[in-house]
Chains A and B, each alone.
Chain A
Amino acid sequence: MSIKEKGYAHWDGKLKKMKFPWKPITRYGIKLTFKKKFFKFSFFLTLIPALIYLAGIYASEKIEDFSFLTRDTDTLSFLKVDPKYFSSYFTNEFLLFMIVLLMVFCGAGLISDDLKYNSLQLYFSRPIKKNDYFMGKAAVIAFFIFIVTLIPGIMFIIMKLIFSGSFRFLASFPWLFFSVIGYSIFITTFFAFYTLFISSINKNRRYVGIFIFGLYYFSEIIFGIFFGIFKSKYFALLSLKINLQQVGAGFFGQKPAYDIPWILSFFIIIMICIFAVIVLKRKIRSVEVVK
């Protein structure tokens, strides 16, 4: 007798109160992202800087083996693995560009698809709170950004220790490990709020993608225009990219590219995150209530 003919059957399990109700949202979010066209290829591209920097760490320990490539070893000084090396990885333009591209692929539809296909009511008819929903969606973004920031950062430290065969590197820069974790969390938090905020303001994933990309580079253009006219370095604070780079330099104890306190950039990014939270709280509802 088929299940249909047997009639409705009870489930003999017991519903449990989940410790992390957002976990299924994240798991399925990641799964669906990998199903997207061209995602795997672009994700692979995002990993290229990490592979190059990893190779650099290996080369830094075998500098003599590579000396035949140049007349003097100073030419290979860029291979010196120190906080500057880490800072240049975390704030390099290609990596930031690829992270933005990653956001277009993995983040654009996270909320906008739910708005378009009316699925918010399905989530909120479950024992899911708004915070769980945000957490689940933000964790999808965090998963992908950590793969290109936190994991390579830690890998660099571990590989440096393995290739050098001593703990001297860690003893010289004991704070570097925390800088890697701190900046990875910072950049992930920013991109999570930035992406979810934009994803919540339009039901069309394509427009959201364009907006994620556009706003990021529009801020750069605005900076360029104002800087060109007024020649003031403070206009660098208008650029999202420069703000992220300034904070990155601050985290790794480097001199920022623009001679303005990196803490200002830090506060600007935090303000953007707070603004995103306010918008998200207003936009995400189980039902539309027009009062």
Chain B
Amino acid sequence: MNVENVEVKDLHFNYGKVKALDGVNLKLPGGAIGLLGPNGAGKSTLIKILLGFLTPDKGEGLVLGYDIKKQQSSIRRYVGYMPESDCLIPGMDAVSFTSYLGELSGMPRQEAMKRAHEVLFYVGLEESRYRNLETYSSGMKQRLKLAQAIVHDPKLIFLDEPTSGLDPRGRIEILDLIMDISSKKDIQVLISSHILSDIESVCSYVVILNKGELASQGKISDLKQINYSLYEIKAFENVERFIDGLRNIGCKVEQTTDKLIKVYLPPEKNPQDIISIAVEEKTQIRHFVKSQTSLEDIFAEVVGVD
């Protein structure tokens, strides 16, 4: 397994005056990697640059050891891409479609056809593989996109919003497939998604982009521990002053609709500081629990959701 299949340095890309990527540096390890960020963070732009669809204004990068500026063809030969938007070729059935794209990747014709059947069975489209693609439901189209992305057995797969438009059952099934694919030690999967729970269930490593910049990256387990501690508090009396006090000592505070206060405590502070502020502000604390941090919490902390 290559330790770094994807590596970019000081990557810049602008859409006119809008900065889509601003000095992104990345070194991604193997396995399943989540690419997170709010809308406009630069996730899709990054994937398109890694695929060679877009040429960066500045910076350099390697994908599977190939230069992203000069060796796009080689990158695309060994990379699978599942686009976010629906895409198909009208008039084709799933077998023709998948084998066709396999052939375009460089597979021999007969092999592409054989492999198309295999991957369509794998993604669960065996019953409808001879049906015209235009009659497919959203879930089937999503599976088909996954099938075409893996038909040529790529070493690296880019999945752009792989669960969008799926019902809960379909979502779980697609995530299971992604987990199964990424469990093969020599396949790396980069998943861009808005659904944090999807990323958390599939990926062990996460990259968070915000406003075109790298906001954070690392193993989810490390990010949960190192960056901060999360406490859930229920408080009465002088709650607003209590929250202001917490913010003054550098905590990020979030209040949920059921009056639960989430306190992101910086590493240099300890829980005793929270109690001290409550005493100062004469606030009653009726619930004080160290919470298990979820990816959502990390995301909120990094991207700056108050």
A residues engaging B (CB < 8 A)? Answer: 2-4, 7-11, 13, 15-18, 21, 24-25, 28, 31-32, 35-36, 109, 113-114, 116-119, 121-129, 286-287, 289-291
Pair B54/A126 contact, Cβ less than 8 Å: no
Q: Are B87 and A121 in contact (CB under 8 A)?
A: yes
Q: Kindly state whether residue B150 has any CB partner on chain A within 8 Å.
A: yes
Interface size class of chain B, counting residues whose CB lies under 8 Å from the partner chain: 35 or more
Q: List 14 A-B contacts (CB under 8 A).
A: A3-B121, A4-B124, A9-B122, A10-B184, A11-B153, A15-B78, A15-B105, A16-B108, A28-B89, A28-B96, A118-B86, A126-B76, A290-B15, A291-B15
B277 lies within 8 A of chain A by Cβ: no
Contact call B88/A11, Cβ cutoff below 8 A: no
Tell which of A2, A31, A124 touches B53, judged by Cβ atoms closer than 8 Å: A124
Once bound together, how far apart are the Cα atoms of A287 and B55, in whole Å? 11
Chain A residues closer than 8 Å to B252, beta-carbon distance: none
Query: Please, how many angstroms separate the alpha-carbon atoms of A25 and B89 in the complex?
Result: 11
In the assembled complex, the Cα of A25 lies from the Cα of B118 at a distance in Å of: 22
Query: Which B residue's beta carbon lies closest to that of A129?
Result: B73
Docked pose: A4 CA to B76 CA in angstroms:
26
A-B CB proximity, top 10 nearest? A11-B153, A15-B106, A125-B81, A118-B87, A126-B104, A3-B121, A24-B103, A127-B73, A286-B53, A127-B77
Contact among A7, A16, A116 for B106, CB-based, below 8 A: A16
Check: B101 CB closer than 8 A to any chain A CB: yes
The answer to whether B90 and A15 have CB atoms under 8 Å apart is: no
Cα(A128)–Cα(B73), bound, Å: 7
Q: Which residue of the partner chain A has the closest CB to B92?
A: A32
Q: Please determine whether B53 and A287 come into contact, CB atoms closer than 8 angstroms.
A: yes
A124 to B200, CA, bound (A): 30
**Interface check B262, CB cutoff 8 A:** no
Cβ contacts under 8 Å, B85 to chain A:
118, 121
Interchain CB contact under 8 A, B15 and A289: yes
A24 contacts B100, C-beta separation under 8 Å: yes
Contact mask B54-74 → A, CB, 8 Å, 1/0?
A: 100000000000000000011
Q: Which residues of B contact A286 (CB under 8 A)?
A: 48, 51, 53
Cα A8 to Cα B118 in complex, Å, equals 10
B83 is an interface residue with CB less than 8 A from chain A? yes
Report how far A9 CA is from B16 CA in the complex, Å: 43
CA distance A290 to B14 in the complex (A): 10
What residues of A have a CB within 8 angstroms of the CB of B106 in the complex? 15-18, 127
Is B304 part of the binding interface, using a Cβ–Cβ cutoff of 8 Å? no
- Report which of B48, B89, B100, B115 forms a contact with A117, defined as CB distance below 8 A: B89
Residues of B within 8 A of A28 (CB): 89, 92, 96, 100
CB-nearest residue of chain A to B96: A28
Within the assembled complex, what's the spacing in Å between the Cα atoms of A121 and B101?
11
